[in-house]
Structure 1
Amino acid sequence: MTNSIHPDIDYLLSKKMFIRIFIYLIFVLPFLVLSNCESGSSSTDMNQSRIDINDIQFVVGLGRIEPELKMLELTSEIQGLVERVHIQPGEEVVQGEAIIEMRRDVEKARVKQAEAKVESQIAIVQGSEASLAAATIKMENAKKNSERMESLFQQGVVTQSSFDDVRTSFESLLEETNRLKAELTSQQFLLKQYQADLELVQAQLRQKIIEAPADGQLLSLDITIGSMITPGQPFGTFALKSPITAYCEIDELFAHRIKYDQRSVIRSEGMTDTLAVGTVVFVGPYLREKSIFSDDVSQLEDRRIREVRIQLEPNPSLLYGQRVECVVFVDE
């Protein structure tokens, strides 16, 4: 009976084993194969994504078109009402050329008044100089006469009274000469004071005319005739005459690859067309903590950048303040 049961048990065991193997082949093995494939693919992708920074051929950074000497804000030291506008935005000017002129009737009157005082004082000084010159001549003659009378008195030729009269006359003329010298000094000092007052009101008059600080181009003017200018308040923008450049920022990851004289191209932001070509002429000596293009000075930036200036070949299509992309070829 025992021998008749064993074949059935063996049969059942072999059948269960077959079912288990079948289930493993159908459900488990495909997952293992798929997992292995994904792992291999991920490893391959990671290896492919590891790019050596030193193999990069060019670096792109955000930039802005500026003159090399940058742009200035026009301000006034004094308050005034605009009377004339001599230069319009877009026009080029030379250093010292008048841009705007404020009303200056009061300052002109003060200048005329100061000029009159100076002219009057000059006449007084000249009169004092003439009086001193005449008194000096008389004093010198009296001195010689006194010395001669003293010699004659010692010889007994003239009396004591005659000698005393001559000496008294000399001493009187000497005192008059000294008085005129002091008066001339006082009048000359007063003349210098009047001249200083004249220079002051002339300077105040000149302040009523806003002149170009250097050769360059007027970019904007936010006032018109009749506008009131407030001291220290910008009313226009001025570009100093200098080569046109792109002032850009390079991310700190690639900052070490930027060097002087590297070839660069400028293109529109987000575009591939070339606007201008140039070379790197300035590389910032340190990494800035915030972007040079951040409008909010209190806003903190997570990344650091390096400032770079690219001098461009002349191109009339470039506009100051235009945002561009700067492509610097770092493999050359």
Structure 2
Amino acid sequence: MKRISVIILSAVLLSACGGEENKTTGQAEAVDNSAMTVKEVVGIGKIEPESKIVNLASTSGGIVSHIFKMDGDSVTAGEKLVQLEDETERLKITEINSQINTQRSQITLEKNNIKEAEWKLANKKKLLITTKNLVNKGAETQQVYDDLETEVKTLEVALEKSKLNIRLAENKLAEIIQQVQTAEAEAGKKILRAPTAGRILNMQVTQGSALTQFATYAEFAPAGALIIRAEVDELFSQKLKIGQQVEIHHAGSQEVIAQGEIKMLSPYLKKKALFSEKANDQEDRRVREIRISIKDNAGLVINSKVECVIKI
């Protein structure tokens, strides 16, 4: 009887152990199945203009004399943003314009001299013909004719010289006009203009401040749609596809502030770049960069950090 009881107890224990083993295996399978059916991936991104933020640089140095646009102002292509002092350039333009006027007066004088020389030459040629007839008739000496012929040749040489002077003066005028165009271009560099339509994000200069050549004076957002540049951990990089829908949240919030769609996938993995606090932050991890078009960007602030919930 005791032996039968031991056998029954052993059977119960074995059955219980088998059931526990099956339960553990089932939990593992559930975890594995859950891991294989990821329905969404979260990436961290920031709001940017589609053409990216542009640092506007000055092609000339100088003192800021006037600022036409400030932070948040919308501008059109070519609109004035900043004026640098240009007194030196303007004085130079005035001086060159004076040279142009003088040169034009000289050309006018040379042209009048040519007309006078042509008139004298024409009269001398007529007189030469008359004198030739008189010489043939014996009414005038050969010496008089020879002297007149010399005068005609002298006038012809003088006329050619005057015509050459005109050409030289006109060439000189063209050079001076080129100089004034160059001076005006230099003066034009003192006016800093918007490269395209857009909005001033951060005007970095103040009136009276010095600006060196090629220094950045403003951050500028070209007109156009906003996008999100985001990064997704390499663990989920293969699950991303162009066209996947995205819900956009403020960082740390569950509220959906906009909807989007993946428009670009980087072809390679790189080090984490967005919002890294340190140079070696997560250096051992790689991320895949994506670009997300936004269906409605009302109220979104450029450079704000967002969470992108990507529907897989």
1:102 corresponds to = 84
1:290 corresponds to = 271
Contact 2:234 2:269 in 1 (8 A): no
1:11 corresponds to = none
1:66 CA drift (Å): 0.8
1:84 CA drift (Å): 1.5
Call closer, same or farther: CA 1:144–1:219 in 2, change over 3 Å: same
Contact 2:270 2:288 in 1 (8 A): no
Give me the identity figure in percent: 24
User: Which of residues 58, 61, 68 is equivalent to 1:76?
Assistant: 58
Residue ranges of structure 2 left out of the alignment (5+ in a row) = none
1:95 CA drift (Å): 1.1
Call closer, same or farther: CA 1:304–1:180 in 2, change over 3 Å: farther
- Answer yes or no: is 1:279 the counterpart of 2:278: no
Amino acid of the structure 1 residue aligned with 2:306: V
| Equivalent-residue separation in structure 2 for 1:182 and 1:249 (angstroms) | 73
1:10 corresponds to = none
- Answer yes or no: is 1:176 the counterpart of 2:161: no
| Equivalent-residue separation in structure 1 for 2:159 and 2:36 (angstroms) | 91
TM-score, normalised by the number of residues in structure 1: 0.75
Residue ranges of structure 1 left out of the alignment (5+ in a row) = 1-17
User: Cα RMSD over matched residues?
Assistant: 3.8
- Answer yes or no: is 1:318 the counterpart of 2:305: no
For the pair shown, which has the larger CA radius of gyration, 1 or 2? 1
User: Which of residues 207, 212, 229 is equivalent to 2:194?
Assistant: 212
Amino acid of the structure 2 residue aligned with 1:230: T
Amino acid of the structure 2 residue aligned with 1:85: I
Question: After superposition, what is the alpha-carbon deviation per residue over 1:5-40, rounded to whole angstroms, capped at 9, x for unaligned?
Answer: xxxxxxxxxxxxx9xx9xxx9xxx89xx87x88866
TM-score, normalised by the number of residues in structure 2: 0.79
User: Which of residues 224, 229, 232 is equivalent to 1:250?
Assistant: 232
Question: After superposition, what is the alpha-carbon deviation per residue over 1:291-320, rounded to whole angstroms, capped at 9, x for unaligned?
Answer: 231558964832333322222134331011
Count residues in correspondence: 302
Q: How does 1:303-314 map to 2 (within 5 A)?
A: 303-314=285-296
Amino acid of the structure 1 residue aligned with 2:85: R
| Larger mean Cα displacement after TM superposition, 263-272 or 318-327 | 263-272
1:202 corresponds to = 184
Amino acid of the structure 2 residue aligned with 1:177: L
